[in-house]
Structure 1
Amino acid sequence: MESSRADRSTSNDMYMDEFKLQSVDLEVEENLSRHRTDGFSGSKALVVRRGAPFRISLQLGGRPFDPNTDILKIKIMLGRLYAIMPVKNSPKPSASRWTAHMDLASLNPLQPSVLICSPASAPVGRYRFVLCAFTKDGARICTVSQFTLLCNPWCQEDSVFIPFEDQREEYVLNDSGLLFMGTAMNIVPLPWSFDQFESGVLEACLNLLEVSPQHQQNRRMDHLNRNDPVYLGRVVSAMINCEDDRGVLKGNWSGDFKQGVHPSQWTGSGDILRQWAKSGFSPVKYGQCWVFAAVMCTVMRVLGVPCRVVTNYNSAHDTNNNLVIEEYYTKTGLKLNGSKDSIWNFHVWVECWMSRPDLGSAMDGWQVLDPTPQERSAGVFCCGPAPVKAVRDRRVDLIYDVPFVYAEVNADVHTIIVDQGQVLRVNKDTEKVGTLVCTKAVAFPRVQNITGDYKLVKSPMSTLSSRSSRSSDDSTLRRASTAAAAGVLLFLTLDKAAVSGQPIGFTVKIINKQKKTKRFRMHLNAQAKEYNHSPSDTFWESNGVVQMGPSEVKILQQKIMLVQYEDVVGDDLINLAVVLEDMSTHEQALASEEFNIASPQLIIKIADEKSVAAHREQTATITFTNPFSHPVSGVLIIAGAGLIQDRATFRMPPLKAGGKVEQTISFIPRMVGSKMLHAVLRLTDVRCTVRGFKMVSVQSR
């Protein structure tokens, strides 16, 4: 009996002497919260930010860990790059090296914790790590795991550090926002889900880096260079379009979208990125500038680089680099396509926040990056990062693509009247290009005017800085297009913002500066146009003769009725021009204006919106009223990052003129915070997309 007890005692001592590393707990929930990556919790993977420690716990069997005799080493690997670090008993911070130390505050011999910290300049990407324990008996026990490392705007040593918490919330964590379209006089907000925390998006963004030509050609150098947000920005800018690589989006400005999706039908980045990844990295069809920019914003926010979407109204594409854009009209006010240069009514790009040690600290801050394929940069269709400060200061000697961006906001416009190849008159406008540069305001669904960051502001458009994106203040919308000829002044002014369903009213004002009677032949012409093209054929015109007494001022009120313009409501804009010809001298004066007709809006109401809570079913009602003179039908799409798992689609049957329809939808919010529920109604009877959005404050239960 005594012998049996001794045997058992010896056996237990031997068992306790064995050191067993059973598993490693990545403490995912705690680390995601600490690193502000808890939005990625759906992937159940460890996602952390560089320059900050994350904690892992060792699950041991057998005897406890003995820090005096047992040794832990960790090997961190990104492709073929690696770092080996011993686990120290006390912290020894390093700005340039990976470090690891025991978490003495919670030391449990059978479940010891280790804090691992990357340098603030570590490359981003998918890492593997091996943890090995070496015991006093010479045994070696290893376990393998992985994590994803992102940039860290909360870390002062990181090159993407941005100093204000509300900006970090907006430009890194906000998963929805507004893009701006239309014209500077009548801004149209476009709700967009950036979807950076939605299923599959993180993986698609990391795949984008690995599919890039830089990675395929030299993986080691690509991994090394991923420490630099300048490099990341150029890679992503090129990979969003597919012109040189296996990029995400195929651009299409032809008007024929039968082989894919019309760009205006996209509601967020998640569908695009997931479709691209699922297809084996075949380009998604189709994108235009705002789609390219919004998807790039998603990718940069996922990678941890602060990013915002920016709209430049009257954006110049100066092909010959002379900072002059020429526009041609006939003497009857018809706008011609007579120049390789062009002005887009709006163009959308992104800005990313980063330091620029390659250019000096004076160029730190917001950088322009443009993924829309327009011109090649170092042989590739990408643009930037061009420091906004360099654009403002006309530092066209600096990299990357500063001259191109400078021209987009600063070129002069020469309006030329021609007849049978002869130039009749040239007007010069130094303020039309870059009329307004804007982005979404921090924490609020409204416009923020940032024109002054790009150029010396001479225009009264600064009043837009505090204007809600959903309202129209007529005092800021009225703008006169003015022309002068010998003895006469000509003004063209919209009476108010054009709204679908209502007549378009405008005023022609003529001032006879001479003290003698004059007779003028007046031509009025309206053409539909896409935001980035020259106008199509005339859809409305008016002609007449105007008799003017000496020094007389004449004001002529004009209207374009609904039945005359409703076929061009929606995605099209209007080019309106008036030409005045002196019937005795044949001198010409021209005034023109390009404007959009605001589409009707969807109205979204949340039932009991003050008590919306995570993981609790909610109800929303979407209402549409038909402003057109004929029945319309269409497809309604409802989406919202953090609110709706998969976008909901409903078919709207024909709705009579003036009729109203309501659609109710249930949803269960998954994330706490300010979220956006938005809806798009794509009408099939007219070329019009109707949108609406509602901000939803989701509380914890």
Structure 2
Amino acid sequence: MSENLENHKTEGFDSSDALVVRRGAPFRITLQLQGRPFNPRTDSVKIKIMLGRLYAVMPVTFSKTVSSTRWKAYMDQEDLNLQEPSIYISSPASASVGCYKFQLCVFTKNSQRSCTFGKFILLFNPWCREDGVYIPFEDQREEYILNDSGLLFMGTAMNLVSRPWSFDQFEPGILEACLNLLQASPQHQQSRKMDHLNRNDPVYISRVVSAMINCEDDRGVLKGNWSGDFKDGVNPSSWTGSGDILRHWVQSGYSPVKYGQCWVFAAVMCTVMRVLGIPCRVVTNFNSAHDTNNNLVIEEFYSNTGKKLNHSRDSIWNFHVWVECWMTRPDLGSEMDGWQVLDPTPQERSGGVFCCGPAPVKAIMDRRIDLIFDVPFVYAEVNADVHTIIVNEGRVVGVNKDTEKVGSLICTKAVGFPRVQNITGDYKHIRSPTLSSRRSPTPDSTLRRAGSSNGVVVFLTLEKAPVAGEPIHFTVKVINKQNVTKRMKVHFNAQAKEYNHSPSDTFWENHGVMQLAPMEAQMIHQQILPAQYEDVVGDDLINLAVVLEDMDTQEQALASEEFNIATPELIIEVANADSTVVNKQQMATLTFTNPFSHPVSGILSVSGAGLIQHKVQFRMPSLRPGARVEQSITFVPNMVGTKMLQANLSLTNIRSTIRGFKMVTVRRA
């Protein structure tokens, strides 16, 4: 058993009651004959493999030559133990995945028959060159199949938030939940035989899973909710891993789990695909367009005082999260092999069902909008232009065009390291130096948006990435392009907004008048104090805009920026981290310092696949501004490898969650 698991890279599934193996590679079963040894001259063996109503029957031979297209069973004559003979079963590299039953019968020279039954679970095999999901680099197989934790990137392109996530693919019951997901799909319910036949194809499997992660058309896993009201379920921001979600779905009899948003849908899909053996990674697209009329233009509307208005069916999400899966595309041609976009968040129907993809990343780069599946939709998400329109009493008084905002950064977790990897260049040709500079954010990045009219140019610049508990400092630079003096009305407006919604009401504004000499440039310095934003913003973002109005010509110019406020991380320190070994108690200390301008309290949750069996919670008492609290925990690792210990502090009197994680390397005892 352990030899099979090691050879097939399935050691993590050792809690399953069935042998877990990968297609295209042999696995060994051992016969225990009662009463007498095996006689290779007079005894023969046949094996029947069954997946639902599909089956294959094969004699056990002494030829070790296997086929990449046919099932084969053989004994190794050179290493044959007659008391307990071993039989090797080799599946084709194109076999359907799922839970197989097998019947093994031994026939003697007197035609006496003795049979036994068993089962095994067959997965895709990215280590097998003939498999359609083969990925040629070991570090990528380790990352995209075996890594049971990761980072999801949120916030904004200039101020990334790294959210730890536990994929939990090796936790008890998760493998079975993922196989149940295939069984619960409409495709399986409509025709089990056709579903089993089609399960050899990662393109087919990926579309089934993309639809089954959301519950809009089926008995899918998650119900989406962007209303802000989660009282009859779980706030999407509270989830820390896929395991709780998948277990809850199975235990409820396949009722949808409430609730998910884009990063939850994507992270759960990543778990399912890694379990099934398809290389998968979670990808974030910053400033992701939802183009409802397919014209590759997103219109955003502002009032003449800088308030963003909800006047358009089109939208831009500050970030949107999907997955990429690695596979060949024989249906499209080998030039489309490689990473494929799949999006389980229900936005638009594809083939009548709420799913998206697999859309080849290469097709998006090359604008091959003639190809299946959903290439035009994904292309618009990363390439649409933005028209910002200022309106006053129903009349358009100013228009800005931005060709760089959408898809400004597309990223994923780096292979082998807890940091960001920029993959924007895989999706789009980098069109200008401006875009290039914005693709590599650092904590000190300057955020800038510029607007202009015939007479003036206005730039809005954040002096540094905003941090919770500190004033938000920003500067407006105004340049008079003409040889006449100008008197300008200046309007500042700040609104809180969720990542996928139009902003809510204005929480801060400022108004004034300025005079510009001919060709003069002036700087205006402003700040928003913590007490003005803390109770409003929480984990939300801020839409900040400035509008300048020429008091003589009524011409208007607008500059705007949407940004997030960085919250501090929980600090996690593991005692004697280098000596962490499996099945031995270890201790960690969690530290939090209150950065806010008023006292906070909350619930601290600690979890970690392979480290902690069940989530541990502590109540944190009220902590005054600037004060620090420590919490010690003990844990007993039960799995070898690099594991993620993560902690969440959900504050009760402010709409914010503080997070932290620590990678822990667990060695054998």
Band of TM-score, shorter chain:
over 0.9
CA contact 1:448–1:466 (8 Å) conserved in 2: no
- 1:443 to 2:416 alignment: yes
SS at match of 1:42: coil
Following the alignment from structure 1 to structure 2, what is the Cα–Cα distance between the partners of residues 587 and 465? 33
2:642 is aligned to: 674
The letter for the 1-side match of 2:665 is S
1:502 is aligned to: 470
SS at match of 1:664: strand
**Cα distance change, pair 117–465 in 1 and its aligned pair in 2 (3 A):** farther
For residues 262-316 of structure 1, give each alpha carbon's deviation from its aligned partner in whole angstroms, at most 9, with x where no partner exists: 0000000000000000111111000000000000000000000000000000000
2:343 is aligned to: 370
CA contact 2:159–2:443 (8 Å) conserved in 1: no
For residues 96-131 of structure 1, give each alpha carbon's deviation from its aligned partner in whole angstroms, at most 9, with x where no partner exists: 110000023431111110110000000000000000
Following the alignment from structure 1 to structure 2, what is the Cα–Cα distance between the partners of residues 33 and 568? 52
CA contact 2:174–2:243 (8 Å) conserved in 1: yes
- 1:584 to 2:557 alignment: no
Alignment of 1:184-223 (within 5 A): 184-223=157-196
- 1:623 to 2:623 alignment: no
For residues 667-688 of structure 1, give each alpha carbon's deviation from its aligned partner in whole angstroms, at most 9, with x where no partner exists: 1111222111111111110110
CA contact 2:404–2:435 (8 Å) conserved in 1: no
1:42 is aligned to: 15
Following the alignment from structure 1 to structure 2, what is the Cα–Cα distance between the partners of residues 53 and 651? 51
The letter for the 1-side match of 2:544 is L
Following the alignment from structure 2 to structure 1, what is the Cα–Cα distance between the partners of residues 79 and 347? 56
SS at match of 1:100: strand
2:104 is aligned to: 131
2:325 is aligned to: 352
For 1:525, which of 493, 496, 501 is the aligned residue?
493
Following the alignment from structure 2 to structure 1, what is the Cα–Cα distance between the partners of residues 428 and 618? 45
CA contact 2:348–2:354 (8 Å) conserved in 1: yes
**Cα distance change, pair 465–417 in 1 and its aligned pair in 2 (3 A):** closer
Following the alignment from structure 1 to structure 2, what is the Cα–Cα distance between the partners of residues 287 and 362? 35
Gap regions ≥5 residues in structure 1: 1-27
- 1:337 to 2:310 alignment: yes
After TM superposition, give the deviation of residue 570 of structure 1 in Å: 3.2
Following the alignment from structure 1 to structure 2, what is the Cα–Cα distance between the partners of residues 83 and 77? 7
CA contact 2:424–2:439 (8 Å) conserved in 1: no
- 1:606 to 2:574 alignment: yes
Following the alignment from structure 1 to structure 2, what is the Cα–Cα distance between the partners of residues 132 and 532? 59
CA contact 1:677–1:696 (8 Å) conserved in 2: yes
After TM superposition, give the deviation of residue 45 of structure 1 in Å: 2.6
After TM superposition, give the deviation of residue 430 of structure 1 in Å: 0.6
SS at match of 2:548: strand
**Cα distance change, pair 323–56 in 1 and its aligned pair in 2 (3 A):** same
After TM superposition, give the deviation of residue 95 of structure 1 in Å: 1.6
CA contact 1:569–1:599 (8 Å) conserved in 2: no
- 1:427 to 2:397 alignment: no
For residues 345-370 of structure 1, give each alpha carbon's deviation from its aligned partner in whole angstroms, at most 9, with x where no partner exists: 00000000000000000000000000
- 1:55 to 2:23 alignment: no
Bigger drift between 398-407 and 637-646 goes to 637-646
After TM superposition, give the deviation of residue 465 of structure 1 in Å: 7.4
Following the alignment from structure 2 to structure 1, what is the Cα–Cα distance between the partners of residues 475 and 437? 23
Bigger drift between 313-322 and 605-614 goes to 605-614
**Cα distance change, pair 637–306 in 1 and its aligned pair in 2 (3 A):** same
1:21 is aligned to: none
For 2:652, which of 676, 681, 684 is the aligned residue?
684
Following the alignment from structure 1 to structure 2, what is the Cα–Cα distance between the partners of residues 352 and 600? 33
After TM superposition, give the deviation of residue 658 of structure 1 in Å: 1.7
CA contact 1:312–1:438 (8 Å) conserved in 2: yes
1:293 is aligned to: 266
Bigger drift between 482-491 and 289-298 goes to 482-491
CA contact 1:617–1:668 (8 Å) conserved in 2: yes
Bigger drift between 46-55 and 623-632 goes to 623-632
Bigger drift between 637-646 and 531-540 goes to 637-646
Alignment of 1:44-83 (within 5 A): 44-83=17-56
Following the alignment from structure 1 to structure 2, what is the Cα–Cα distance between the partners of residues 114 and 616? 38
CA contact 2:547–2:556 (8 Å) conserved in 1: yes
TM-score (norm 2): 0.99
For 1:563, which of 494, 507, 531 is the aligned residue?
531
After TM superposition, give the deviation of residue 68 of structure 1 in Å: 1.6
Bigger drift between 584-593 and 507-516 goes to 507-516
CA contact 1:580–1:588 (8 Å) conserved in 2: yes
SS at match of 1:155: coil
SS at match of 1:496: coil
CA contact 2:577–2:664 (8 Å) conserved in 1: yes
For residues 116-172 of structure 1, give each alpha carbon's deviation from its aligned partner in whole angstroms, at most 9, with x where no partner exists: 000000000000000000100110100000000000000000000000000000000
Dislocated runs of 4+, deviation >3 Å: 458-467
Following the alignment from structure 1 to structure 2, what is the Cα–Cα distance between the partners of residues 570 and 54? 53
SS at match of 1:158: coil
For 1:473, which of 424, 440, 443 is the aligned residue?
443
Following the alignment from structure 1 to structure 2, what is the Cα–Cα distance between the partners of residues 520 and 255? 39
Following the alignment from structure 1 to structure 2, what is the Cα–Cα distance between the partners of residues 88 and 522? 86
- 1:256 to 2:229 alignment: yes
CA contact 1:500–1:569 (8 Å) conserved in 2: no
Following the alignment from structure 1 to structure 2, what is the Cα–Cα distance between the partners of residues 186 and 106? 61
Following the alignment from structure 1 to structure 2, what is the Cα–Cα distance between the partners of residues 460 and 135? 78
Following the alignment from structure 1 to structure 2, what is the Cα–Cα distance between the partners of residues 556 and 265? 40
After TM superposition, give the deviation of residue 93 of structure 1 in Å: 1.4
TM-score (norm 1): 0.94
After TM superposition, give the deviation of residue 62 of structure 1 in Å: 2.2
SS at match of 1:61: coil
- 1:246 to 2:219 alignment: yes
Bigger drift between 609-618 and 524-533 goes to 609-618
Gap regions ≥5 residues in structure 2: none
- 1:664 to 2:637 alignment: no
For 1:116, which of 81, 86, 89 is the aligned residue?
89
**Cα distance change, pair 407–465 in 1 and its aligned pair in 2 (3 A):** closer
The letter for the 2-side match of 1:473 is P
The letter for the 2-side match of 1:76 is I
The letter for the 2-side match of 1:45 is A
After TM superposition, give the deviation of residue 81 of structure 1 in Å: 0.3
SS at match of 1:204: helix
For residues 376-400 of structure 1, give each alpha carbon's deviation from its aligned partner in whole angstroms, at most 9, with x where no partner exists: 0000000000000000100000000
The letter for the 1-side match of 2:146 is L
CA contact 1:389–1:453 (8 Å) conserved in 2: yes
Following the alignment from structure 2 to structure 1, what is the Cα–Cα distance between the partners of residues 604 and 246? 22
The letter for the 1-side match of 2:443 is D
Bigger drift between 84-93 and 234-243 goes to 84-93
1:484 is aligned to: 452
- 1:179 to 2:152 alignment: yes
Following the alignment from structure 1 to structure 2, what is the Cα–Cα distance between the partners of residues 478 and 466? 12
**Cα distance change, pair 251–632 in 1 and its aligned pair in 2 (3 A):** same
Percent of aligned positions that are identical: 72
After TM superposition, give the deviation of residue 67 of structure 1 in Å: 1.3
